[in-house]
Chain A
């Protein structure tokens, strides 16, 4: 059995058949996981200025760029092992650099609340064993964390939920779009307008305290009733909800406070985003957007999006992410104008504009380590395929040695 790093569920019940140093067959994983485990078609090669180079020279040049930069940023980390993340934080300290990760424009806001214990959280194993009301809010788990419903929430039998979805569990979807998850929540899909989450939360909190909602009163009162009667409820917060209430996350804290039997769990995409958030939080008290100087300073200007917009960084090391494939298109030109060091197993959009590329082993498949599941549980990664690549954590150590 090995662990899948396709998403933050880190399913550890995967069987594989290996042939010629590649995973040939995958059993138990979802489509997303199988694709991740079988690996990309285009492996990255070491290069300098888009010209092939040997790995030692690439590493040396990477160190030189970082050393000479006035304001370097180390970014990515959500597809890196905990070991690489902790090395990355060490490197940032050594360089007095800015460090940020993908949670900066993803679920960081909510993970911070979880780590500061502003939400009542629980483990996915608790969900499996106890949960009777499951609310997918702005989250299409079926397409993003595809085994969430089958391993942990709606379908499985649990200690106090012997009859699973047929009788013991209710699944609810609140979303702008009738997602594949919403389709499963038959009769319990609440379609809201774009940016309508805040108003929906207000209607729901009103209904929970006995007020009749102005719109869709019957259905919202019915939802409030289901939630009030829950013995063990969970709200799975997708990025749809997070983006919609990003300026007022406390409204969700307030909803959680009104529902003493409910737990709030942010749905994380990349396999070890939470690992990075926990590591940096432990070190600095912040989950992302930190600049190390004599102390760790957290400011919004250290968010990747702001730093690129304000053109305030002059070198960027990227690992465990492909920012070019997800940042607003208008940021690409500045990103392409500064020296970028890309550490990745595969050719990515970012590697195509990078000054230095350094290929790494695929973490969890070609190199082992650990990662933190979306609910905070530490899961061991396997590293079962023999290969000649350096692990991401080793590459970072080598860069540090060169400084």
Chain B
């Protein structure tokens, strides 16, 4: 039986800054069915600049793992259709992005929803399901570290 060496090779990890935004199509999908496929497809995505993707060896459609001290998720990477200066990636506001948000607010009660830092790497794991985010709070993926 051959050994799949690739399984043991870790994809390189990069630091990434993420901010969140609103997308009308995703909000529309949320209103209809927050457990539906459409909402997941529009939420479990990270948008990056062409340069950043090139630098990190990531292509549109690749699955990427985002991890920090607060949680871990798997989402799809997509290249931004706009001119971006790079250095910052974008996720729509959703339970996927919130999984990476710190609950430490310095006692002020307002988390940094729009100022997330995480490490990004290519993965073969499935896109995180909503059930996994709710019932395991991302723990399953966290344990894979």
A41 touches B133 (CB 8 A): no
Q: Is B145 an interface residue (CB 8 A)?
A: no
Q: Please provide the chain B residues from 108 to 137 with a CB less than 8 Å away from any CB of chain A in the complex.
A: 108-115, 130, 133-135, 137
Report A-chain residues with C-beta under 8 Å of the C-beta of B17: 194
Q: Is A243 an interface residue (CB 8 A)?
A: yes
B32 touches A303 (CB 8 A): no
Which of B2-10, B53-61, B87-95 binds A?
B87-95
Q: How many residues of A contact B (CB 8 A)?
A: 60
Contact of B22 among A143, A176, A308 (CB under 8 A): A143
Which of A57-65, A89-97, A256-264, A330-338 binds B?
A330-338
> What is the bound-complex CA distance between A116 and B79, given in angstroms?
44
**Distance between A190 CB and nearest chain B CB, rounded to angstroms:** 13
Report A-chain residues with C-beta under 8 Å of the C-beta of B85: 191
Q: Is A113 an interface residue (CB 8 A)?
A: no
> What is the bound-complex CA distance between A308 and B104, given in angstroms?
11
Could you give, for residues 1-31 of chain A, a 1 whenever the CB lies within 8 Å of some chain B CB and a 0 otherwise?
A: 0000010000000000000000000000011
Q: Please provide the chain A residues from 96 to 111 with a CB less than 8 Å away from any CB of chain B in the complex.
A: 104-105, 109
> What is the bound-complex CA distance between A13 and B38, given in angstroms?
29
A32 touches B27 (CB 8 A): yes
B103 touches A35 (CB 8 A): no
Which of A121-129, A223-231, A276-284, A346-354 binds B?
A346-354
Q: Is A306 an interface residue (CB 8 A)?
A: yes
Contact of B28 among A31, A240, A244, A333 (CB under 8 A): A31
B34 touches A305 (CB 8 A): no
**Distance between B36 CB and nearest chain A CB, rounded to angstroms:** 7
A349 touches B105 (CB 8 A): no
B90 touches A177 (CB 8 A): yes
Q: Please provide the chain A residues from 190 to 215 with a CB less than 8 Å away from any CB of chain B in the complex.
A: 191, 193-195
- Chain B positions within 8 Å of A, measured between CB atoms, are 17, 19, 21-25, 27-36, 70-71, 82-85, 88, 90, 93-95, 98-105, 107-115, 130, 133-135, 137-138
- Chain A positions within 8 Å of B, measured between CB atoms, are 6, 30-32, 34-36, 38, 40-42, 104-105, 109, 140, 142-144, 146, 176-179, 191, 193-195, 239-240, 243-244, 246-247, 289, 300-301, 303-306, 308-309, 322, 324-333, 336, 346-349, 352-353
Query: Which 7 residue pairs are nearest across A and B when measured between Cβ atoms?
Result: A303-B109, A329-B99, A35-B31, A328-B101, A35-B28, A143-B24, A328-B103
